[in-house]
Chain A
Amino acid sequence: MIGEIIALGVIASWLIVTSVYGYYVTRKGFKKGSADEWFVAGRKLGLLVLWLSLGANIYSSYTFLGLPGFTARKGFSVWAITVYGMLAYLIGFWLIPRLWSMAKRNNWLTLADAFEDLYNSRLVGGFVAVAGALWSIPYVQLQLQGMGYIIEVSGYGGIDPFTAKITAFLLLTAFVVFGGLVSVAGINALQGAIMLGALWSIGFAAPLIAFGGFDRLFNVLQHYSASSNGLFHLYPTMGDLYFLYSIIFVAPLAFWLWPNRVQNIYGAKSINTVKKNMVLVGIYQLGQIPAILVGLTAAGLYASGLLTAPIYEKSVADKSFMLVTRALFNPWIVGIVGAAALAASLSTAAAILHVSGALFSRNVLPRTSSGRLVLYARLFTGLIAVISLYLALYMPDVLIYLLLVGYAGIAQFFPEYILAVKKPGLVDKWLAITAMSAGMATVGIVKGLWGRPFNIYEGLWGLLVNLLILIIGIYIKKKR
């Protein structure tokens, strides 16, 4: 009972601090009350705030909970996720500074603005806005589920996930509806700082405390791997290689086209800030290595009988980070880690919701005054949040799978974006919408009907169909 009070008390205190800070920054920033301020923080985010806020925006429940859970269940496969993420920074280093420059020059406030301008079509912008918001729903669902797991484990069983998710949902919606990117970026900067500290300290401390060294951990895991009927394995299989090779060519294309990340980048005050951040945010990506170590520690503790929860089960695996912390550390540390993990989820979900509202109000609704624009953005944000909450409560899934499906959908924007930038006029608006829609539909059909055939990432099938339609369309256009 004492443990529960301490851990939850620390988490609640952190939430209060971030709420007060968010409210203060929102009030301060909102005096100007412009759409520019609400959407992209007036394009004035400096290096440190952008770094911390991008880190908190990108690294969420999937890093804190999903990645250790995936490691504890599958072992080697997790490297595919970490490698594609790091490759995405190389692509981003080339792509993002150019996008930022074009955004500033053309006064783009959202990703859909870019498409609308590049294709000279409000229809394309509207399509990207709606598709971007819809593919973001599983990402918000992931965060709400994650928050539920954190509070459930931190409560030592004293709080049911339903209550926890509802509380988190209310806080989250309040952050976004009454703020904008000003408050989201400000809160994210705080969240990013606590996340980074918790990831690295627990990641390296946990295996050392539990097993006395990495060699001993791997010895335990090798025995466990041999007895787990192939589900958990440390040595790569052919299936792992198919997954690795298919995901590293597709997911990095989506990495920087998530509408929330694009909008966070738009908030940068200079191109140098953007470029430096492409390198510095990579430090967060390196932080996935300690997260993997926590997953291995969870599997090792289970193999040694020190953790009784069946870690190989989908619903339990995603709680690995919190279960390891609870098994090895006192409630104060559990509270701090819980606050960091909650911060990760809250900050990402807030950014996604904020951007979903922005996309809908700006790129789908008819042009209107700045004040009405902000109002519609807030209403749509609430709608997306409610849908995500419903899915989190009644249709939960494995965190990493939710993330990967979202990536597969968002990746379908990439060919059309690059072609419009590099070869303007080559692809017209109808061909672009048809190809993107076909790619997204393929992802949905493949995932829905067959799951992941041959362990090949579903995004690859979608991208192949997308490209095929583009090639046929361009060929027909040239023949005319």
Chain B
Amino acid sequence: MFKLLLLGYLPGLLLPLIMALFPGNVVAAWFFMASWVVYIFLLLVYAYYSEEKSWDETS
């Protein structure tokens, strides 16, 4: 789970890179942010399916 959290935060480090690669490009910045939100949602779906088998109700 900790790895997934790190993966969720990781795009935050890429944002300055996107800004450096596409300076002043509004579409790139907005597309990146929208993709980040959708990407975290997909991580969540992955988390559910990957943990479904190993879940212990008493944990």
Residues of A within 8 A of B (CB): 76, 79, 82-83, 86-87, 89-91, 93-94, 97-98, 101, 218, 222, 225, 234-236, 241, 244-245, 248, 271, 275-276, 278-279, 282, 285-286, 288-289
Contacts and interface: CB of A to CB of B under 8 A. Distances in A.
12 contacts: A86-B40, A87-B9, A234-B29, A234-B30, A235-B25, A235-B26, A236-B29, A244-B15, A248-B9, A275-B51, A279-B47, A282-B44
Contact of B41 (A91, A97, A282): A282
Contacts of A244: 12, 15
Given A245-B12, A248-B12, A279 B40 contact: no
B37 A286 contact: yes
Contact of A235 (B9, B29, B45): B29
Given A76-B29, A86-B41, A87-B40, A236 B48 contact: no
Interface residues of B, number: 33
B41 A271 contact: no
Prevailing SS type, chain A contact patch: helix
B5 A91 contact: yes
A89 B24 contact: no
A85 to B, nearest CB: 8
Interface string B12-38: 100110010000111101100110111
Interface of B: 1, 4-5, 8-9, 12, 15-16, 19, 24-27, 29-30, 33-34, 36-38, 40-41, 43-45, 47-48, 51-52, 55, 57-59
Contacts of A91: 5
A189 B38 CA distance: 25
B41 A241 contact: no
A343 B44 CA distance: 27
B57 A271 contact: yes
Contacts of A98: 59
Given A83-B33, A90-B5, A94-B1, A222 B47 contact: no
B12 A90 contact: no
Nearest to A93: B47
A68 to B, nearest CB: 15
B59 A101 contact: yes
B24 to A, nearest CB: 6
Contacts of B26: 218, 222, 225, 234-235
Nearest to A79: B33
Contacts of B45: 279
B1 to A, nearest CB: 5
